């Protein structure tokens, strides 16, 4: 058996937390041979509800669960953590864009970045799920100057999985036959789900679907899927978001499959002309616990315009939170 690792989850009493913690404790994220100690952070009024979640986790008698720390203090929650899933923040309601949450949620991520900077392991892997996820990740990263910026990522894996599912349905295939889908940019309605490099059972995806479906159905449906779920459920996606968070971390740790890539929002170093520093959705491969941007992809005019639009939105979001970036 391996030595236990410490996994922090914020917003642990929320709806994503409830769908996430039991899967982490069951070994879905880090493997069936990796014991975990869960560090659960909540705001003070949610501590009683969090105690209920702790009771349930204990009642599962998970073989891999080697301890639980439940707290309302980020300095305790992030002490010596190897992984941090930053979920805690308010979800949007009907009619809102995710960036409308920036004022409400942005303030959460500066102190959490500082607490990670002070207490987390130097190799910590951070995934921001709370919306607007990319810019919240930027705020956390900017407030953690002693950690490698590459420790900080945001989630576009849910969008990536949504794209796989829609394409599989359209082509009458299974998601496991699809390779090399990319979600570029922001986890927002400007995101660009790109099929130009994708294949379905070895055939180019765009040869199997018509351009009108790609432009008028596929792209907007993926972009608006979060809003469609809020409309249908009266609450934002939770189990699928938790599942994507598990996928994101597992791929980061265990690697991508040969001949495939995944989409992760990571700090830009200028690849594909994106402003350095933005947390931007890119195609990446993962190996030995590190991610690498897939370089050299041909980007046509259609794609270039869409990548530029989502980059513009992220630059605007960054400009709106300069006061939280600690510089
Ligand atoms: P929720 O309201 O059910 O739970 C959020 C929890 O966070 C609450 O229990 C709340 O008490 C807690 N919280 C608030 N501030 C906190 C803080 N400073 N520290 C610790 N905990 C704090 O919401 P949810 O449905 O679980 O969604 C959480 C976030 O995830 C939302 O912002 C939502 O929009 C986002 N989300 C992102 C994606 C994605 O793909 N990136 C997908 C789904 C949802
Ligand atoms: C999602 O994509 O489902 C989440 O980001 C929730 C939302 O606000 O759409």
Q: 173 alpha carbon to ligand 2 midpoint, in Å? A: 26
**Eight-class DSSP state of 92:** P
Ligand 1 centroid – CA 150 distance (Å)? 23
Nearest-CA residue for atom 5 of ligand 2: 226
Contacts of 136 (CB under 8 A, 6+ apart): 86, 89, 105, 106, 108, 109, 128, 130, 154
Label residue 103 by pLDDT band (50, 70, 90): confident
| Mean pLDDT of all residues in 117-131 | 98
- Judge whether residue 97 has pLDDT over 90: no
| CB distance 99 to 37 below 8 Å | no
92 a known binding residue? Answer: yes
Ligand 1 centre to CA of 302 (Å) is 34
Query: 201 near 227, Cβ under 8 Å?
Result: no
Q: What structural domains and CATH numbers belong to the chain?
A: 5-154 (3.40.50.720), 156-321 (3.90.110.10)
Q: CB of 237 closer than 6 A to ligand 2? A: yes
Q: Write down the pLDDT at residue 327.
A: 65
Share of the chain above pLDDT 90, in %: 94
Is 244 a pocket residue for ligand 2 (Cβ < 6 Å)? Answer: no
Residue 56 phi, psi (nearest 5): -65, -40
Give the lowest-confidence range in 105-109, 184-188, 196-200, 242-246: 105-109
Mutate to test the pocket of ligand 2, among 16, 95, 98, 104 (most ligand atoms within 8 A of CB): 98
Query: What's the first-to-final CA gap in the chain, in angstroms?
Result: 44
Is the Cβ atom of 131 under 6 angstroms away from ligand 2? yes
Q: Is 246 annotated as a binding residue?
A: no
Average pLDDT, the chain: 97
Closest Cα to atom 9, ligand 2: which residue?
Answer: 226
Average pLDDT over residues 128-146: 97
The C-alpha atoms of residue 230 and residue 13 are separated, in whole angstroms, by 19
Nearest to 136 by CA among 87, 97, 196, 174: 87
Q: Is the pLDDT of residue 132 over 90?
A: yes
In terms of pLDDT, which residue wins out, 96 or 263? 263
pLDDT digits (tens, 9 = 90+) for 8-33: 999 999 999 999 999 999 999 999 99
- Positions annotated as catalytic residues are 187
Query: Which ligand is in closest contact with the Cα of 229?
Result: 2
Q: How far is the CA of 61 from the centre of ligand 1 (A)?
A: 26
What pLDDT does 320 receive?
93
DSSP 168-193: HHHHTS-GGGEE--EEEB-SSTT-EE
Residue 93 scores a pLDDT above 90: no
Compute the average pLDDT of residues 24-43.
Answer: 98
Work out whether the CA dihedral 227, 142, 39, 65 comes out positive or negative: positive
Pocket test for ligand 2, best of 237, 241, 245, 281 (most atoms within 8 A of CB): 237
pLDDT surpassing 80 at residue 69 = yes
Determine the longest span between alpha carbons in the chain, in angstroms. Answer: 55
* Nearest ligand atom owner, CA of 128: 1
Q: Which helix (H) or strand (E) holds 284?
A: strand 279-287
pLDDT of residue 104: 85
Confidence of residue 282 (pLDDT cuts 50, 70, 90): very high
Ligand lying nearest the CA atom of residue 104: 1
**Is the distance from the beta carbon of residue 160 to the nearest atom of ligand 2 less than 6 Å?**
no
Confidence (pLDDT) at 51: 98
Q: Quick one: tokens of 45?
A: 């009024």
Backbone angles phi, psi at 162, to 5 degrees: -60, -40
- Does ligand 2 lie within 6 Å of residue 132's CB atom? no
What's the pLDDT band for 1 if we cut at 50, 70, 90? Answer: confident
* Between 327 and 48, the higher pLDDT residue: 48
Q: For residue 325, is pLDDT > 80?
A: yes
Q: Which residue out of 77, 236, 237 has the highest number of ligand 1 atoms within 8 Å of its CB and is therefore the one to mutate?
A: 236
Tell me the C-alpha distance between 183 and 191, whole Å: 7
Contacts of 191 (CB under 8 A, 6+ apart): 156, 159, 183, 184, 185, 222, 223, 281, 310
Give the mean model confidence (pLDDT) for residues 111-138: 98
At 76-91, the pLDDT tens digits run: 999 999 999 999 998 9
Residue 213 has pLDDT above 80, yes or no: yes
What is the distance between the alpha carbons of residues 125 and 155, in angstroms, rounded to a whole number? 13
Mean pLDDT of 141-148: 98
Rounded mean pLDDT, 282-305:
98
Please answer whether residues 87 and 14 qualify as being in contact, where contact means their C-beta atoms are separated by less than 8 angstroms.
Answer: yes
Query: pTM of whole model > 0.90?
Result: yes
């Amino acid at each position: 058996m391996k030595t236990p690792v410490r996994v922090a989850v914020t917003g642990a009493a929320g709806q994503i937390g409830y769908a996430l913690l039991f899967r982490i404790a069951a070994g879905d994220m880090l493997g069936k041979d990796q014991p975990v100690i869960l560090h659960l952070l909540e705001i003070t009024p949610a501590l009683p509800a969090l105690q209920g979640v702790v009771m349930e986790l204990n009642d599962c008698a998970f073989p891999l669960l080697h301890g639980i720390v439940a707290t309302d203090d980020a300095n305790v929650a992030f002490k010596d953590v190897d992984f941090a899933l930053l979920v805690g923040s308010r979800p949007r309601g009907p009619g809102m864009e995710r960036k409308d949450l920036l004022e409400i949620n942005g303030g959460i991520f500066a102190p959490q970045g500082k607490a990670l900077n002070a207490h987390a392991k130097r190799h910590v892997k951070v995934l921001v799920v709370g919306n607007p996820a990319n810019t919240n990740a930027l705020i956390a990263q900017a407030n953690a100057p002693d950690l490698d910026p590459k420790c900080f990522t945001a989630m576009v894996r849910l969008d990536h999985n949504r794209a796989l599912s829609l394409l599989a349905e359209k082509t009458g295939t299974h998601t496991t036959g699809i390779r090399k889908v990319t979600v570029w940019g922001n986890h927002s309605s400007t995101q660009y789900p790109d099929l130009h490099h994708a294949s379905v059972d070895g055939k180019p995806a765009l040869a199997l679907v018509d351009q009108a479906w790609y432009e008028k159905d596929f792209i907007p449906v993926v972009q608006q899927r979060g809003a469609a779920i809020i409309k249908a459920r009266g609450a934002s996606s939770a189990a699928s978001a938790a599942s994507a968070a598990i996928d994101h971390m597992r791929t980061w740790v265990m690697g991508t499959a040969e001949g495939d890539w995944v989409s992760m929002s990571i700090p830009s170093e200028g690849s594909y002309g994106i402003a350095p520093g933005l947390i931007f959705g890119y195609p990446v491969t993962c190996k030995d616990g590190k991610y690498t941007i897939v370089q050299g992809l041909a980007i046509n005019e259609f794609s270039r315009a869409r990548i530029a639009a989502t980059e513009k939105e992220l630059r605007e979001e960054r400009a709106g939170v300069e006061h939280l970036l600690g510089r």
